[in-house]
Amino acid sequence: MLNAKGATAKVTPHIHAATKDGHTAEESTTIPGPLTMLSRALRWLAQGVELVPIQYRTKHFVSGFGPNREHITDEESARYWWGERSCNLGVVCGSGLVCLDFDDSAMFESWLRRGGRALAKDTLIEQTTRGYHVWFFTDAPIASGPDELCEIKARGAVIMSAPSIAPSGWVYSVANDTLPLRVDANQFFSLLSNPQTIESLSAGRVRSAVPSVVQIIKGGATVDCVKREFAIYDMARDVLRAQGFELQSSDDVGRYFIGRCPFHDDSNPSFFIDAELGFWRCRVASCAGARGGDVINLYGLAHGLSNVEALRELARELR
Ligand SMILES: [Zn+2]
């Protein structure tokens, strides 16, 4: 089990009861020290997780930040928001990070009884005002939504994380202090319904191949690189083919192409690319593709990713 440097591992009776032989409470509390907002923030960043500052003792995002707005991705900003300023700590879900949000402890205990105990001792669990947050990394394409016992928080969700302070004054605590377990995509739904069937997982995210968003954004080179390496023609052809459509040339020089739009129910060829400028758009004003853009947001729109996520995936393919 990994412990955060300088963080206190607080083991609640629930989790302690959930631990199995050979794993004692003493082992989970070996590293004393302050559980500071900053140390937790840096730990999330080190896992490639993006953060959002939330106003102190509230659940309101600091202006300009939010699930679909600005995120914190670098240590310097984290030191400002969680070191100098007193903010609550928001963790951005999605991009492989999923939180099972158990609204009350009865639901959480049902999950433990159903077979979650073995997992509970090995993954990050936080205690909230009334319930628990159980964290996992997974490559499964998970959408946010309700499940039988918990709410699944994935893309588009920001979760308030320990040691944030609720409006009531309750301090979110770490109930099991380790990194989120990594769960294979094909095992994720067993995690909810049949957790005892999951075995031999490892904690933490494999990050070697994933450039951080900071690297991507600070090194504008990566954006240029992606645009240079992924031709809009190839990308558009693949996106259209996935829907059974084909691009057709609309001039004699191989610059302009059209096809049926993959983003709305299109009977005309409304989808258009300029292969020379690396630009695409859909001619139908009500279509999600009406504004068009470049190879990055085409990939993002086609795969349900934000531009940053699309950029990260494409940059990874270049490595
Ligand atoms: Zn369209």
Span from the CA of 206 to the centroid of ligand 1 (angstroms): 37
Span from the CA of 48 to the centroid of ligand 1 (angstroms): 34
Distance CA 305, CA 215 (A): 19
Q: How does pLDDT run across 120-156, given as a tens digit for each residue?
A: 888 899 999 889 999 998 877 778 888 889 999 988 8
Q: How does pLDDT run across 14-30, given as a tens digit for each residue?
A: 333 333 333 333 333 33
Span from the CA of 213 to the centroid of ligand 1 (angstroms): 29
What is the rounded average pLDDT for all residues in the chain? 80
- pLDDT: which is higher, 219 or 300: 300
Name residues whose C-beta falls within 8 Å of residue 252's C-beta, 6 or more positions apart in sequence. none
Q: Phi then psi for 87, rounded to 5 degrees?
A: -125, 155
**Is 297 in a helix, a strand, or coil?**
helix
Query: Buried b / exposed e across 274-299, counting CB within 10 Å, b at 16+?
Result: ebeebebbbbbeebebeebbbbbbbb
From the list 100, 68, 205, 92, the residue with the least C-alpha distance to 159 is: 92
Q: How does pLDDT run across 284-316, given as a tens digit for each residue?
A: 999 999 989 999 999 999 999 888 888 888 888
Query: Could you tell me the pTM of the whole model?
Result: 0.56
Span from the CA of 106 to the centroid of ligand 1 (angstroms): 47
Span from the CA of 224 to the centroid of ligand 1 (angstroms): 26
Count of beta carbons in the 10 Å neighbourhood of residue 61? 19
Span from the CA of 258 to the centroid of ligand 1 (angstroms): 11
Domains and CATH numbers, the chain: 13-197 (3.30.2250), 213-318 (3.90.580.10)
Span from the CA of 71 to the centroid of ligand 1 (angstroms): 29
Question: Which DSSP helix (H) or strand (E) runs through 314?
Answer: helix 307-318
Span from the CA of 270 to the centroid of ligand 1 (angstroms): 6
Span from the CA of 272 to the centroid of ligand 1 (angstroms): 9
